[in-house]
């Protein structure tokens, strides 16, 4: 009977320790969906080099994706009523030093003026996804924009705080490679997680921030580029996070629980044995 009681006590101790440790290990859930944005873009943690120079790499097909609807930009002058790209699929990886984000979207033609961009909030101030323009109750920027264009095949690291303020940064940290095949663009943006530049978004694994997307179809229609400047397909803000390294502390709690349970059992058995001899 005494042994049965001691085993029950061990189980109770282990359950208590696990009930404390499991919530701690799961404390990095996304923000409440009632807040601005909802679906998450996740940069999955991997080891070794990232496929930053190969948008067609088979590695990308193993990465879980998120797809976001796009709509015409209607917040600023030179609006466009219809856009070519209706949605964009996003995949992300990081290796704790560098990150890579793949955009994939349908575009029937490959044109020199085709372009795509990522936009991030910088700091803790909320910004409107339209270049951080002040609107309604939104204070405005700043935002960090990574812009790629087919004609030059590279990315430009940019900053803005409202329409008319967009400019290239003095320090350029972003790279991009795009490939078009069978009516689909795949564009990979890459950068170090942190740069030391105050105008850049700094990516801290485990921390949530906001990301938005923009895409331009550079097809020539009636002698003019179909989409350029503010004429583009856009998304609103979405949540963004680089996955943190695995939290192995839960195993420490389990070991601690087993040690405590064993100590408790040992003490209980000693007490029972003394009781028999007295």
Count of structural domains, the chain: 2
Q: Tell me, yes or no, whether 50 lies in a domain.
A: yes
Range of the domain at 56: 35-242
What letter would DSSP give residue 237? Answer: -
Is residue 156 located within the same domain as residue 46? Answer: yes
Q: Tell me, yes or no, whether 213 lies in a domain.
A: yes
Length of the chain: 278
Is residue 57 located within the same domain as residue 124? Answer: yes
Q: What is the pLDDT along the chain (278 residues), one digit of tens a residue?
A: 454 554 455 444 444 444 434 333 334 455 554 444 457 899 999 999 999 999 999 999 999 999 999 999 887 777 788 999 999 999 999 999 999 999 999 999 999 999 999 999 997 777 777 666 665 555 667 899 999 999 999 999 999 988 788 999 999 999 999 999 999 999 999 999 999 999 999 999 999 999 999 999 999 999 999 999 989 999 989 999 999 999 755 545 455 555 665 665 656 666 666 666 66
pTM: 0.78
Q: If we measure between CA atoms, which residue out of 29, 201, 11, 23 comes closest to residue 99?
A: 201
Is residue 235 located within the same domain as residue 254? Answer: no
Q: If we measure between CA atoms, which residue out of 43, 57, 49 comes closest to residue 179?
A: 57
Is residue 95 located within the same domain as residue 135? Answer: yes
The CATH number linked to 184 is 2.60.40.1190
Q: Tell me, yes or no, whether 219 lies in a domain.
A: yes
Q: Tell me, yes or no, whether 30 lies in a domain.
A: no
Q: Tell me, yes or no, whether 217 lies in a domain.
A: yes
Q: Tell me, yes or no, whether 13 lies in a domain.
A: yes
Q: Tell me, yes or no, whether 27 lies in a domain.
A: no
From the CB of residue 272, how many other CB atoms can be counted at a distance below 10 Å?
Answer: 14
Is residue 150 located within the same domain as residue 186? Answer: yes
Phi/psi for 202 (5° steps) reads: -105, 125
Q: Tell me, yes or no, whether 222 lies in a domain.
A: yes
Is residue 268 located within the same domain as residue 224? Answer: no
């Amino acid at each position: 009977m005494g042994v049965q009681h001691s085993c029950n006590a061990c189980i109770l101790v282990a359950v208590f320790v696990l009930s404390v440790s499991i919530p701690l290990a799961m404390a990095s859930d996304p923000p409440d969906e009632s807040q601005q944005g909802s679906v998450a873009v996740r940069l999955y943690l991997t080891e070794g080099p990232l496929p930053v120079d190969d948008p067609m790499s088979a590695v990308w097909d193993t990465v879980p994706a998120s797809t976001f609807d796009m709509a015409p930009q209607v917040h600023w002058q030179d609006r466009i009523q219809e856009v070519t790209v209706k949605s964009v699929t996003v995949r992300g990886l990081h290796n704790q030093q560098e990150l890579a984000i793949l955009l994939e979207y349908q575009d029937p033609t490959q044109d020199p003026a085709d372009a795509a961009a990522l936009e991030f909030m910088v700091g803790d101030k909320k910004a409107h996804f339209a270049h951080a323009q002040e609107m309604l109750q939104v204070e405005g920027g700043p935002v960090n924009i990574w812009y790629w264009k087919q004609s030059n095949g590279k990315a430009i690291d940019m900053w803005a705080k409202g329409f008319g303020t967009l400019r290239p940064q003095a320090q350029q940290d972003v790279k991009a490679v795009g490939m078009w095949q069978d009516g689909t663009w795949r564009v990979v943006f890459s950068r170090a997680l942190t740069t030391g530049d105050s105008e850049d978004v700094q990516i801290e694994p485990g921390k949530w921030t906001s990301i938005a997307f923009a895409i331009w179809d550079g097809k020539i229609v009636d002698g003019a580029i179909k989409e350029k400047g503010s004429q583009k397909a856009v998304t609103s803000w979405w949540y963004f996070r680089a996955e943190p390294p695995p939290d192995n502390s839960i195993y420490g709690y389990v070991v601690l629980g087993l040690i405590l349970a064993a100590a408790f059992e040992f003490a209980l058995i000693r007490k029972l044995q003394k009781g028999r001899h007295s």
